[in-house]
Chains A and B, each alone.
Chain A
């Protein structure tokens, strides 16, 4: 077993790209800034020096065209790994991704393959405002033919990115910008993870909590605070939005009868809506209370800190939701909320949470 070290998710991504470029000679990285001094927030730093400009391709500011070009190369057997510094910029690529990439295998009756990975970064904080911090996983997860990955731990960032690159389908790999800073144990060496389903990250029999990406951290924090007050949550990190495998989560709800889902993007029509729908369809009889969905409120992301402060849900909202479902006492609710608030150490909400450094 290769040894695990504690590294950031950003470093884990870099390591995965390095290993993938080495393992798959047909792969190449392409994006605006992949070979620049910023190196996509450090996730591509040094790769151009090691693999050369034909495998680490700096690209013109032409997202739509270059997506089609990447797809064309993939049809010919190349394995492109495209990167966009924000999900919002990749909106220009949707036509090619949804129409060409997602459907080429199907429409050719299996003759074509699009072994392509698209890294998209979800922005947050520092007043970036309405067009630099959208969490649009729902858009991609809606499309049959795409796979959608949303990791939260450094080990998953590495393993799932390797899995995405090795996959012969177009895979959307959504990275929350703040997760880049999170530290955790990551094994050395090449080890692609299967693009399979959710993972249980906290045990409990009282309530089921499902979260993805950044909200997994908030859910874990809430679960820890709740556990020391006698309320035990079964917490799942969703990891994959498409394919969406809910068997384990449904089994959990059958035990707990209570469900909270936490989306990183907007609540309405978010992944949580689909999860609740499937659970209602398949485990209606097990539900003891109406499920609760958490997510962003139904308006664009405001820039001003004063407005952003009431925009992002966090572990206090999860505690409140669980408290309602599990009839927690006032004292426990107040102290659990205080515990998670204290962990923020007063850092304004437009800066990454210091308590989420890990390792987990």
Chain B
């Protein structure tokens, strides 16, 4: 799990570093600081399981095994991008890896994930669907409609809500009354758990239980993972100077960097050494470098293809 978190961090930091070159000409919503959720959940999944994601989909995609070069190529608008350059960063998917889709409209992918679970149930497959959602999507009616149906039919689906406390610049407290957020799951009959989303092991443990329940027909779960987005809502920079959140709050969360938390633990247990970590980082840096080179070398889509594929 440390490896996967480091890999995602390295990839996203490199995206941030290169963004000002203006070759990636689409909005990017970085997950830096939130990697533990995606990684902890993915490590509880198997081949054939599906995830659906949102505008902030890089970590979910990579953690589930989505192709790195195809993702970077998509950000670069290339023919070899996962969407052939048609979608950009908010539409990542990888059928081979079980990343069914990502959608940029808040809440839009929630019912789609429930639909994937419905298909598993109808076909009696032992698979589960995971829906990644942000705290803001709990405000959309479609979350409640989807949760209700998932519970009614005991579908093999897990709602993973990443509460990073903000929707763009608007704090949770300015959008929702003070309440126990897991109640929004349990009120619909979901098995609801609140956890530290920056503790990858806690995430993984909770996900494993939820996956187990789903596979054995015990129905859907709702995992509420507290976490924090480090960078601006959209784009490569830090935006703590804007004033919508405090530097103290940011520093509080940065001190709980999910990667550093796990590293400290593994180091103290002697499970890894500083040198192992350096070696991993170096490996990921060259992997990301190579992926960028391959993506940048790929051709742009041919404009004559632009109108193709509107219908199946």
Q: Which residues of A are found within 8 Å of B106, using beta-carbon distances?
A: 61, 89
Q: A300-324: which have CB < 8 Å to B?
A: 300, 302-307, 309-311
Q: Which residues of B are found within 8 Å of A58, using beta-carbon distances?
A: 170, 174-175
Q: Which residues of B are found within 8 Å of A335, using beta-carbon distances?
A: none
Known contacts: A37-B243, A64-B141. The answer to whether A302 contacts B170 by CB under 8 A is: no
Q: For B77, give its contact among A33, A65, A91, A303 (CB under 8 Å).
A: A303
Of listed B170, B176, B244, B305, residue having the most chain A CB within 10 A? B170
- Cα A126 to Cα B81 with chains together (Å): 16
In the complex, whether B137 has a CB less than 8 A from a CB of chain A is yes
CB distance from B146 to the nearest CB of A (A): 14
In the complex, whether B167 has a CB less than 8 A from a CB of chain A is yes
In the complex, whether A52 has a CB less than 8 A from a CB of chain B is no
Count contacts on B: residues with CB < 8 A to the other chain: 43
Known contacts: A132-B104, A304-B78, A306-B301. The answer to whether A61 contacts B136 by CB under 8 A is: yes
Q: Which residues of B are found within 8 Å of A36, using beta-carbon distances?
A: 168-170, 244
Write the chain B residue with the least CB distance to A306. Answer: B300
A131 and B104 within 8 A (CB): yes
Q: Which residues of B are found within 8 Å of A304, using beta-carbon distances?
A: 25, 77-78, 81, 84-86, 88, 300-301
B169 and A37 within 8 A (CB): yes
B88 and A92 within 8 A (CB): no
B140 and A61 within 8 A (CB): yes
A32 and B167 within 8 A (CB): yes
Write the chain A residue with the least CB distance to B310. Answer: A299
In the complex, whether A327 has a CB less than 8 A from a CB of chain B is no
The interface residues of chain B, by DSSP majority, are classed as loop
B103 and A131 within 8 A (CB): yes
B78 and A62 within 8 A (CB): no
B26 and A127 within 8 A (CB): yes
CB distance from A164 to the nearest CB of B (A): 25
Q: Which residues of B are found within 8 Å of A309, using beta-carbon distances?
A: 303
- Cα A310 to Cα B300 with chains together (Å): 13
A62 and B306 within 8 A (CB): no
In the complex, whether B307 has a CB less than 8 A from a CB of chain A is yes
CB distance from B150 to the nearest CB of A (A): 20
The interface residues of chain A, by DSSP majority, are classed as loop
- Cα A38 to Cα B176 with chains together (Å): 20
B139 and A62 within 8 A (CB): yes
- Cα A253 to Cα B136 with chains together (Å): 51
Known contacts: A62-B140, A130-B87, A307-B306. The answer to whether A350 contacts B25 by CB under 8 A is: yes
In the complex, whether A297 has a CB less than 8 A from a CB of chain B is yes
Q: For A61, give its contact among B86, B167, B300 (CB under 8 Å).
A: B167
Write the chain A residue with the least CB distance to B174. Answer: A58
Q: B68-101: which have CB < 8 Å to A?
A: 74, 77-78, 81, 83-88, 90-91
B169 and A302 within 8 A (CB): no
Known contacts: A304-B77, A304-B78. The answer to whether A127 contacts B27 by CB under 8 A is: yes
In the complex, whether B242 has a CB less than 8 A from a CB of chain A is yes
B26 and A126 within 8 A (CB): yes
In the complex, whether A196 has a CB less than 8 A from a CB of chain B is no
Of listed A58, A297, A299, A306, residue having the most chain B CB within 10 A? A306
In the complex, whether A129 has a CB less than 8 A from a CB of chain B is yes
In the complex, whether A88 has a CB less than 8 A from a CB of chain B is yes
A129 and B90 within 8 A (CB): yes
Q: Which residues of A are found within 8 Å of B170, using beta-carbon distances?
A: 32-33, 35-36, 58
Q: Which residues of A are found within 8 Å of B297, using beta-carbon distances?
A: none
Q: Which residues of A are found within 8 Å of B86, using beta-carbon distances?
A: 129-130, 300, 302-304, 307
In the complex, whether B105 has a CB less than 8 A from a CB of chain A is yes
- Cα A121 to Cα B284 with chains together (Å): 40
In the complex, whether A60 has a CB less than 8 A from a CB of chain B is yes
- Cα A335 to Cα B170 with chains together (Å): 51
A127 and B141 within 8 A (CB): no
Q: Which residues of A are found within 8 Å of B25, using beta-carbon distances?
A: 126-127, 304-305, 348, 350
A126 and B27 within 8 A (CB): yes
Interface residues of B (CB under 8 A from A): 25-27, 74, 77-78, 81, 83-88, 90-91, 103-107, 136-137, 139-141, 167-170, 174-176, 242-244, 300-303, 305-307, 310
Interface residues of A (CB under 8 A from B): 32-33, 35-38, 58-65, 88-89, 91-92, 126-132, 297-300, 302-307, 309-311, 348, 350
Known: A60-B175, A350-B25. 6 other contacts (CB 8 A): A33-B168, A131-B91, A132-B104, A297-B306, A305-B25, A306-B301
